[in-house]
């Protein structure tokens, strides 16, 4: 069975996985190392092993020798909550599911690590109680609440503590669209980037109508969804810019044209293990040669192989390796990203 694990390749400084500590401390990481993952939320539970979670292909990021997974927890038919788990060397550090505290359906589908701060991205289909954890995260956010209506999937972005999975109060925001009748409409975040000035560039798909920085609806033409771009401060309390393709915003600005800084926009890589022929397959186009390094879970280097440039796909024979969990790292002098993969 082919399990695809999406990796996000970002401009970052190299850090040595062999020096990563099992008791992770975010201050030990180089602050410019960026990791992120966005995808379909898969059904997870706190009782699942890491190998079982990897098989689902749910969004995840690796930080040192720890990996964080995000998805949904099926509570009952038609009811699901967001779930985030952190494993270190195959052992569960924590599992958090109690964010919403309501009948709202919510699922986690994105993670973004700036090198010092961890952000989670949820979808949610209605308001949550004012005494819920999610409300405390977004209480001072750019958009502090879901708003009127129910059934449409707005997004929530918030910072979480890497040591226990709890959210950080007053460090979150809803991201939503607004219909002509004032009811909330759907927005799905597709990417987050860290700008040179510390602000966040958030790219999403929004239905009628994406909102301006003052939360009024934009005037849009054509069919939705619209490519919606936001620049928010790192605490998610202030919208600095908002623009959408085929929409007139209140300032007339295009956020991508007015940043004044370089973004580390990601190049997507797909790496997966093919059980049929015992090979790791790397689907990505590299403009220069990069190194693929495979580590075991004790941080020992198992294999080093140079990947060629200007190829759409490459394979690495791992038939000599025993079954188990390994870390695959792709790097060169400027970039580094890593991901756990299950070889069986």
Residue 155 in this model has a pLDDT that exceeds 60? yes
Q: How far apart are CA 47 and CA 54, in angstroms?
A: 14
Q: How far apart are CA 13 and CA 52, in angstroms?
A: 31
Contact 230, 259 (CB under 8 A): no
Count the neighbouring beta carbons within 10 Å of the beta carbon of residue 33.
22
Higher-confidence residue: 262 or 163?
A: 163
Q: How far apart are CA 51 and CA 48, in angstroms?
A: 8
* Listed ranges 13-27, 112-126, 329-343; the one with the highest mean pLDDT: 112-126
**Would you list the DSSP string of 60-80?**
EEEETTEEEEEEEEEEETTEE
Higher-confidence residue: 64 or 7?
A: 64
Q: Which of 109-113, 284-288, 334-338 has the lowest mean pLDDT?
A: 334-338
Convert the pLDDT of each residue in 183-219 to its tens digit.
999 999 998 988 878 899 899 999 999 999 999 999 9
β strands within 161-312, DSSP E: 167-175, 177-178, 184-185, 187-194, 200-206, 219-220, 226-232, 239-244, 247-248, 267-274, 279-283, 290-295, 301-307
Q: What is the pLDDT, as a whole number, of residue 337?
A: 72
Q: What is the pLDDT, as a whole number, of residue 34?
A: 78
- What rounded mean pLDDT belongs to the chain? 83
Query: In terms of Cα–Cα distance, which of 282, 292, 279 is closest to 319?
Result: 279
Residue 1 in this model has a pLDDT that exceeds 50? no
Higher-confidence residue: 297 or 30?
A: 297
Q: How far apart are CA 27 and CA 176, in angstroms?
A: 33
Report the sign of the C-alpha dihedral through residues 234, 243, 143, 266, in that order: negative
Report the sign of the C-alpha dihedral through residues 125, 130, 134, 138, in that order: positive
Higher-confidence residue: 325 or 220?
A: 220
Q: Which of 54-58, 268-272, 333-337 has the lowest mean pLDDT?
A: 333-337
Convert the pLDDT of each residue in 309-318 to its tens digit.
888 889 999 9
Contact 86, 67 (CB under 8 A): yes
Q: What is the pLDDT, as a whole number, of residue 25?
A: 34
Q: What is the pLDDT, as a whole number, of residue 141?
A: 96
Residue 236 in this model has a pLDDT that exceeds 70? yes
Strand order in the sheet with 106-113: 35-38, 106-113, 118-124, 154-160, 167-175
Residue 331 in this model has a pLDDT that exceeds 80? no
**Cβ within 8 Å of residue 223, ≥6 positions away:** none
Residue 13 in this model has a pLDDT that exceeds 50? no
Q: What is the pLDDT, as a whole number, of residue 178?
A: 97
pLDDT band, very low/low/confident/very high, at 298 (cuts 50, 70, 90): low
Convert the pLDDT of each residue in 32-76 to its tens digit.
367 889 999 999 999 999 999 999 999 999 988 899 999 999 999
Q: How far apart are CA 15 and CA 31, in angstroms?
A: 11
Contact 57, 42 (CB under 8 A): yes
Higher-confidence residue: 287 or 277?
A: 277
Residue 258 in this model has a pLDDT that exceeds 70? no
Residue 154 in this model has a pLDDT that exceeds 70? yes
Q: What is the pLDDT, as a whole number, of residue 3?
A: 37
Q: What is the pLDDT, as a whole number, of residue 235?
A: 94
Contact 277, 283 (CB under 8 A): no
Convert the pLDDT of each residue in 105-151 to its tens digit.
999 999 999 888 999 999 999 999 999 999 999 999 999 999 999 99
């Amino acid at each position: 069975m082919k399990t695809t694990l999406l990796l996000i390749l970002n401009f970052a400084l190299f850090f040595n996985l062999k020096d990563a500590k099992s008791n992770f401390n975010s201050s030990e990481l180089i602050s410019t190392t960026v990791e992120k993952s966005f995808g379909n939320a898969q059904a997870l539970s706190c009782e699942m092993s890491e190998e079982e979670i990897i098989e689902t292909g749910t969004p995840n990021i690796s930080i040192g020798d720890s990996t964080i997974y995000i998805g949904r927890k099926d509570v009952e038919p038609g009811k699901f909550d967001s779930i985030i788990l952190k494993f270190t060397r195959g052992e569960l550090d924590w599992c958090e599911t109690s964010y919403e505290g309501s009948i709202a359906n919510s699922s986690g589908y994105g993670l973004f690590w700036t090198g010092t701060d961890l952000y989670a991205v949820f979808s949610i289909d209605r308001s949550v109680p004012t005494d819920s954890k999610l409300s405390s995260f977004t209480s001072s956010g750019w958009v502090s609440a879901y708003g009127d209506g129910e059934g449409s999937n707005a997004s929530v972005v918030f910072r979480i503590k890497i040591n226990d999975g709890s959210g950080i109060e007053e460090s979150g925001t809803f991201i939503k669209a607004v219909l002509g009748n004032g009811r909330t409409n759907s927005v799905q975040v597709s990417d987050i980037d860290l700008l040179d000035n510390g602000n966040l560039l958030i790219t999403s798909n929004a239905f009628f109508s994406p909102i301006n920085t003052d939360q009024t609806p934009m005037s849009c033409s054509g069919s939705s969804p619209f490519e919606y771009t936001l620049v928010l401060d790192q605490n998610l309390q202030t919208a600095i810019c908002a623009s959408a393709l085929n929409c007139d915003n209140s300032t007339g600005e295009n956020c991508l044209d007015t940043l004044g800084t370089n973004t580390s926009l990601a190049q997507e890589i797909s790496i997966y293990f093919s059980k049929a022929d015992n090979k790791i397959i790397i689907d990505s186009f590299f403009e220069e040669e990069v190194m693929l390094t495979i580590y075991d879970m004790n941080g020992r280097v198992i294999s080093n192989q140079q990947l060629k440039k200007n190829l759409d796909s490459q394979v690495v024979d791992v038939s000599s390796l025993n079954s188990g969990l390994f870390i695959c790292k792709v790097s060169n002098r400027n970039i580094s990203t890593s991901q756990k993969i299950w070889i069986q």
